[in-house]
Structure formats: structure tokens, C-alpha cells
Structure 1
Amino acid sequence: MFVVLGATGKIGRATIAELRRHGAPVTAVVRRPDSAAELRAMGCDIAVADIQDGAALSESMRGATAVQIICPTSVRADDAAAEMKNSIRTIVDALDRNRPSSILAISDYGAHLASGTGITLTFHHLESELKKLPAALTFLRSAEHMENWSRQIGRAVETGVLPSLHHPTTKLFPTISAPDVGVIASELLLSDTHAPLRIVHAEGPNRYSVEDVARIAAELAGRNIAASEMSRPDWIPALVRGGLSASYAELVAALYDAHNAGRIDLEPGVGEVKRGRTGLREVLVSMTQSS
């Protein structure tokens, strides 16, 4: 039996859809029963567990042969790093009590680095804690999600300016559509490979720059849109205005400092790369149409 945490998110839903398409038994772990109707209709068993409820989380994994986990991000927490570490501790404890034979963790590009990567340090910590468990581990390190541009595209269509924390705007960076990460995860879960540790990097069919994002958005919206480097002192105030806590905004800013220094990429000489099929234009279509 496969157990999938974060079942209502873009990655979890895509993983579950593919597992069920292959007839695999799935328990979908959700925080609220009222969010499970679609998953139940797909043929999933449903387990209700908050990520901070160790007993419920452990019960949701009972009898699992494989578990897919994702660490929730605490975007409004007063101490985001501490809260996410607490979530990791609860997840790892639940896994340790149930001892599934394999675990797939959704991780992040740059998770191999032990310092100076902001929010990505959470994934470094997740990987380090999981390595203590007696299970076949797969770390699926995801590139930045294309869907993250939804926070800025509407405003860019209105103003003609797409501000970015990526510097310079011509720099190519890895990115992937979030549902494609779930599809890749399902393929890994269904494979016969059960190595003690497997590291897989997931990115889209191409790398893009912020100027590429602005150009495609402009073509779709039918107006000029210019890519613009947001001044470093403006990052945290802008992120907080966008709904992040100051603590989480600091972690995001540190991540983009690492990005702009060229540190967030494949781990050199380690693991493999799997590519999603969805291109950036396909993802941006719905964003510009709704703007």
C-alpha cells in the first residue's frame, strides 16, 4: 500500500492520480475530511491527520509499504524554520514507528548544501533525518515550480513590469510544473528499484530566464511586459506585503541570494535528472487568461 502525505496539493494529487491509474492501492492523508471527496472518488482510502498530530500521522501510515512525504511550508509562522523542523520531527517519528520498506521525499534543488540556502536548508535537514531510518530512500529534488509565477503575472499584465528576485533577468534557472513532480514521483514509487539511497533531480524540458517568462506572458496577454530586477533591499518588504511572515521572507531572500550566486542547482556528479513534459507557456496560459 502507498501512503501519500500532502494529498490535496498539486504534487500529491498528481502522484495519486498516476498510482491509481496503475491500479495501486493508495491511502491519501488529508488535514480535513471535507477536502477528500475527489480523492475518495479516485478510489483512495482516506486518513485524516494534521502534520503536527504524531499519533494520527503514525496511524495513517499503518501497513504502508511505501510512503511519499512532503514537508509543509509555514509561510506565516513567526519562526518558520523552527516550525518546519518540528513538522519534520513528527513525520520522521511516525515513519520510524511504522518502518515502511521505502520512503520517497519531495526535496529541493540545493538540498545537498549545509549552509547559506535559506528555505532550502529545511530540505537538507529533512534528508539528514530520513537517512537515520532503515528504509530504501528516494530524494526527489524538485526545481522551482513554474506555478509560483501566479503570484506576479496578474500584476505584470496590469503594469507591464515583471519584478524578480532572480538576478540577472537573463540568467537561466531550472524550473518544473508542480504536477510533473508528482508524475515523476509515481514512476519512482512504482519502479522495481529499491536502492538504499536514490537521488533524483526533477526539472522541466527546458531552463528559462525571467526575460523568457516576461516574453511568454507578453505574447499571451497581448501587451509589452518587461522583466525587472527587484532591488535587494526591497525583497523582504515585498514578500511580507505578499502575505509571508518576516521569518519566512528572510528564508526566501537567503534562498535567492544563493540562487543568484549560482549555488542552487544539481548536486555535481550525484544522482540523475528526470524531466517533466510541461513547458512554461502551457503553465502561463491560465495565469494570463485569468488576469
Structure 2
Amino acid sequence: MFVIFGATGHVGHASAAALRRAGHEVRAVVRDATQADTLAAIGCEIALADLNDADSVARAIDGAHAVQWLCPVPREHADPAAAMRQIIDTGVAAFRAAAPPRLLALSDYGAEHADGTGITTLFHYLETQLRTVPAPLTLLRAAEHMQNWARVLPVALDRGVLPSLHDPLDKLFPTVAAQDVGELAAQLLVDGGPARATPRVVSIEGKERVSALDVARTLAELSERPVVAHQVPRDEWTAVLRGAGLGERHAQLIVDLYDAHNAGRIDVEANISERRFGATTLKQVLREQLSRVADAQTAAR
């Protein structure tokens, strides 16, 4: 039995689907049963779990051959960092009490840094705490997800301007499609790899690095509308993020993240030997996202 936390997200769903296609039993762990229909449709067993309750997490992993753990960022919480650390502590307590035979955690580029990287410091905390679990551990660090651009697509299409916190706009940065992360995670769960005393750290990004200018050009090509990249001035970042609905502390985590990103600190760790590259291109992801935007606009009419 493969247990997948965060199975309703892009990465978790891709992992669950890949495992089911290979004929494996999958238990999809969700927080809301109303979101489980697509997972049940592909043959997943559904488990409800409260991520702040160690007993609930322990029940979800009972009998697992391998566990994939994605710790969510509680975006609606007034203090998302504190809330995420609580979820991490709860999960680690459950894993230490009943260690699964194999454990894989989704992490981020830059997680090797203990501070100064905003929201990514939470993944450093996650990795540090998981190292105390007596189980073979794989840390899968992913670059920025291409799907994140979906948040600003409606604005870009409506105004012809793609807002970006990347500085400069022509700077190439690593990015990856969420489905490639999920499929690699499933592969690593199945393969396991050789037993080792230290965690296995694997990185994944797309085959080509891109810039904000590349994203704008691709959007313009696919939408057949003019789209230009716009570098949001540094002193406007907080106001823009707050205007997008982020709380004060969440906005600061993102500001700190992009300061680190623009300083070159959010990248693959220099000494990682296991580097993987996803096959999905930015163009493919943006085409899919534009189709979803069009469908949503049609449904709203």
C-alpha cells in the first residue's frame, strides 16, 4: 500500500495516478472528502486525516509499504509559518511512533539554507525534523512549479501585462511542471534505491530554464494577444501580495523568498548528485492553464 498525502494537489494526484497505472494499491489521504471523487474514480482508497492530530496521521499510514508526504502551506492562517511547523511536528511525531518502511517528502530548491529564504525556510525545517525519523528517507526537492503562473494569467490576459517579482526579467531560473514532480516521486517510491544511513536527496527541474520574458512571450503566442512582462517594483511587492489576498505574514514570507530568489539562493544545491529533469515544457503547461481559464470564463457566463 502506497500512502499519498496531499493527493488532491497537482503533485499528489500525479503520483497517485502513476502508481495506480502501474497496478499498485494507493491510499489517498485528504482533508476534505468532497475533493476525493477523482481519486476514488481511479481506484484509490480514501482516508480522511487531520494533519494536526498525530493519531489521525498514524491511522492514515497504518499498513503502508511507503509514504509520500507533502506538507501544505496553510495559506488561510494568520501565521502560516507557525501553522506549517505545527503540521510538520505532528507528522514527524506520527512517523517516529510508527515509522513506515519507506518515506518520501516533497521539498523545495533552497531547502538546504537554514534562514533568509522566506517560505523555503519551512522546508529546511521539514527536512531537519524528518531526519529524526527512523525510516529510509528520500527528499525530493523541486524547482518553482510552472503551474504557479496560473495565479496571474487572468490579469495578464485582461491587461496584456504579466506581473513578475523576478529581477531582472531576463534572468533564467529553474522551473518544473508539477506532474513531472509527482511522477518522479511515484518512481522513487517504487524503486526505493539502496539502503543508506543518510537521506537520499534528489532534485528535479525542467530541461530548460526560463525567464519572466519567456513566460510572457509564450503566453502571447498561445493566446494570440499581446502580453509583456512587467517587473513589479520592490517597494510595491507587499502591497501587491496583500491585494492578492495574502495575509501580512504570508506576504512577508513571499517577499523574503523572492529576495533570495533574485540573489541566486533558490537553486539546486551544488553537491547534489541525483539530478532529474522533467519532460513537460512551459508551453505545454501554459496551454493547459489557458484552457482552464477559458473554461472558467465560459462557465461564468
RMSD of the TM alignment (CA)?
A: 1.2
Q: Are residues 171 and 104 of structure 1, via their aligned partners in 2, closer, same or farther at CA, if it must alter by over 3 Å?
A: same
Q: Are residues 186 and 149 of structure 1, via their aligned partners in 2, closer, same or farther at CA, if it must alter by over 3 Å?
A: same
Residue in 1 aligned with 2:289?
Answer: 287
1:58 matches 2:32 = no
Paired AA for residue 200 in structure 2? R
Residue in 2 aligned with 1:267?
Answer: 269
- Counterpart-to-counterpart distance in 1, 2:66 and 2:243: 40
Cα distance, 1:36 vs structure 2: 1.9
- Counterpart-to-counterpart distance in 1, 2:37 and 2:222: 34
The 8 Å contact of residues 154 and 287 in structure 1, kept in 2 or not, is answered as no
Alignment of 1:112-191 (within 5 A): 112-191=112-191
Question: In terms of mean alpha carbon deviation, does 169-178 or 239-248 score higher?
Answer: 239-248
Residue in 1 aligned with 2:37?
Answer: 37
Paired AA for residue 284 in structure 2? E
DSSP-derived class of the 1:228 partner: strand
Residue in 1 aligned with 2:4?
Answer: 4
Residue in 2 aligned with 1:229?
Answer: 231
The 8 Å contact of residues 136 and 194 in structure 1, kept in 2 or not, is answered as no
Cα distance, 1:56 vs structure 2: 1.3
Residue in 2 aligned with 1:94?
Answer: 94
The 8 Å contact of residues 198 and 271 in structure 1, kept in 2 or not, is answered as no
Paired AA for residue 117 in structure 1? T
The 8 Å contact of residues 74 and 248 in structure 1, kept in 2 or not, is answered as no
- Counterpart-to-counterpart distance in 2, 1:32 and 1:263: 36
Question: In terms of mean alpha carbon deviation, does 228-237 or 115-124 score higher?
Answer: 228-237
The 8 Å contact of residues 203 and 276 in structure 1, kept in 2 or not, is answered as yes
- Counterpart-to-counterpart distance in 2, 1:80 and 1:46: 27
Paired AA for residue 29 in structure 1? V
Cα distance, 1:117 vs structure 2: 0.3
Residue in 1 aligned with 2:298?
Answer: none
Alignment of 1:175-214 (within 5 A): 175-196=175-196, 197-214=199-216
Cα distance, 1:37 vs structure 2: 2.3
Residue in 2 aligned with 1:19?
Answer: 19
The 8 Å contact of residues 27 and 46 in structure 1, kept in 2 or not, is answered as yes
Q: Are residues 287 and 16 of structure 1, via their aligned partners in 2, closer, same or farther at CA, if it must alter by over 3 Å?
A: closer
Residue in 2 aligned with 1:248?
Answer: 250
Name stretches of at least 5 consecutive residues in structure 2 with no aligned partner. Answer: 295-301
Report sequence identity in percent.
Answer: 47
- Counterpart-to-counterpart distance in 2, 1:121 and 1:127: 10
Paired AA for residue 125 in structure 1? Y
DSSP-derived class of the 1:153 partner: helix
The 8 Å contact of residues 139 and 198 in structure 1, kept in 2 or not, is answered as yes
TM-score (norm 1): 0.97
Cα distance, 1:192 vs structure 2: 4.1
Q: How many residues align?
A: 291
The 8 Å contact of residues 102 and 192 in structure 2, kept in 1 or not, is answered as no
